[in-house]
Amino acid sequence: MTPFIYFIVSSCSPGSGQNKFETKPNIVLLFADDLGYGDLSVFGHPTIKTPNLDRMAAEGVKLTQFYVAASVCTPSRAGLMTGRLPIRNGMCGGRTVFFPDTEGGLPQEEITMAEILKTKNYATACFGKWHLGHAPAYLPASQGFDEYFGIPYSNDMSPAQNKSEGARNFPPTPLIEGTEIIENEPDQRLLTTRYTEHAVRFIGEHRDNPFFLYLPYTFPHTPLYASENFDGSSKRGLYGDVVQEIDWSVGEILNALKEHNLEENTFIFFTSDNGPWLVMEEDGGSAGILYEGKGSTWEGGMREPAIARFPGRIEAGSICTAVATTLDLLPTFAGLAGAELPADRILDGVDIFPVMTGQKETGKDTVFFYKGRNLFAIRKGAWKAHFVTVVKPYGPDGVTEKHDPPLLFNVETDPSEKYNRAAEHPEIIMDILAIKQRHQAGLVDVPTRIR
Ligand code: MG
């Protein structure tokens, strides 16, 4: 091969320069729980300090229009893990999330991002809150993860943590390793530290082979607990302490990658499962300029802070304003690993790596906002139409309001969804209603699994 031809070949390959494209990159996915759009300093919070996440953004890309698949834990995680809207596999509706007395979980037939990366011999681990089924048959071990350590569902579901009638007969909060309960009602102040220790160990153990590390933090879901080192560290109170401890954890992971000389060959992504739990008042987060939070299909419920870093591949300090979602991460990871996508099922996302690197302007510019099994809103391009809204997501009866014609907001000029433009743009509403009709015509009715 002549040097000239070599130049052409390498310039056409992403990441050319150090033959990095020949190596399957490590993938680290950091996933907070109930963190709002406005809760990181790099996303504008005035009194929470997140220097490590801020650094990740300064060395990578900040995504400002990034969404999740649902505004509560279980369906959001089902979308993340499978790249499919939860309506396609029954992972929405019913009791909204899995509870300690749930017997089921994410269907075995679903293909998770871990299973896809296993086809390329990635070592895989999940350390944290799974919430896709806690019976042994549904734990991460059955969904492509070599290792698991964590509380398998929310941290507020045991009688010790929850005084409500519903929690009275639930078991103590389990801490699981692999498929075994190793502790009951573990000290939650130590959870972020313990997840982080496992993550750092896993990175060291697999420094010579490609790995996928998924770290779904238990916090800042309530009840809030911070370790001694972070308790009282923030002007924002306990919520800020907890977020600052997650930021510390991110720093430990960045340090471990650096220590093992893996920074240049590791793609890291940080986001959260849904917006802030506003009814928790000061123990809940902030959606910043976005309206509402967890449990709603307003922007605050489903738009999340997101940061990606991949030195040499993603431009340092860049900002990506393209519309993207957690449904895009499975195809993106598959693309990075050179893995095949399943051809026998509908995937709802696309590979957004070219969007994060600025090679492409848009990914999939349509977002479906489901509340349980009902489609409440659709975003297409800059416009979002609400067919139904919840009046108070955690208020009495979760009262909903129907809108005909739909409410219509330009969420690029009006991210706070304040000014309804429906009367001025009937043609945009027609367009979005046509998208809705096509989408719903393509759905197969699958009963809810969330019981
Ligand atoms: Mg959550």
Q: Which of 73, 92, 126, 320 is catalytic?
A: 73
The reply to whether 178 and 262 lie within a common domain is: yes
Q: How far apart are the first and last CA of the chain?
A: 61
The rounded Å distance from CA 52 to ligand 1 centre is 22
The rounded Å distance from CA 34 to ligand 1 centre is 4
Whether 5 has a pLDDT exceeding 60, the answer reads: no
The rounded Å distance from CA 273 to ligand 1 centre is 5
Report how many domains make up the chain.
2
Question: Is there a contact between 252 and 230 (Cβ–Cβ < 8 Å)?
Answer: no
Q: What is the mean pLDDT of residues 252-262?
A: 98
* pTM higher than the cut 0.85: yes
Domain end call among 337, 363, 389: 363
Cβ burial 96-112 (10 Å sphere, 16+ → b, else e): bbbbbebebbbbeebbb
- Averaged pLDDT score across all residues of the chain: 94
- 131: annotated active-site residue: yes
The rounded Å distance from CA 1 to ligand 1 centre is 53
For the chain, what percentages of helix, strand and coil (3-state, to nearest 5) are there? 30, 20, 50
Q: What is the mean pLDDT of residues 173-200?
A: 98
The reply to whether 223 and 338 lie within a common domain is: yes
Q: What is the mean pLDDT of residues 142-149?
A: 98
The reply to whether 318 and 388 lie within a common domain is: no
The reply to whether 196 and 336 lie within a common domain is: yes
Q: What is the mean pLDDT of residues 30-49?
A: 98
Residues facing residue 44 across a β-bridge: none
Q: What is the mean pLDDT of residues 273-278?
A: 98
For residue 447, whether the previous peptide bond is cis, meaning omega lies within 30 degrees of 0, is: no
At 13 the pLDDT is: 38
Whether 430 has a pLDDT exceeding 60, the answer reads: yes
The rounded Å distance from CA 222 to ligand 1 centre is 10
Structural domain boundaries enclosing 268 = 4-363
- 73: annotated active-site residue: yes
pLDDT band, very low/low/confident/very high, at 91 (cuts 50, 70, 90): very high
Q: Which of 45, 92, 126, 131 is catalytic?
A: 131
The reply to whether 286 and 334 lie within a common domain is: yes
Domain end call among 332, 348, 363: 363
Bridge-based pairing of strands 383-390 and 374-380 is antiparallel
pLDDT band, very low/low/confident/very high, at 394 (cuts 50, 70, 90): confident
Of all helices (H) and strands (E), which one includes residue 378?
strand 374-380
The reply to whether 226 and 274 lie within a common domain is: yes
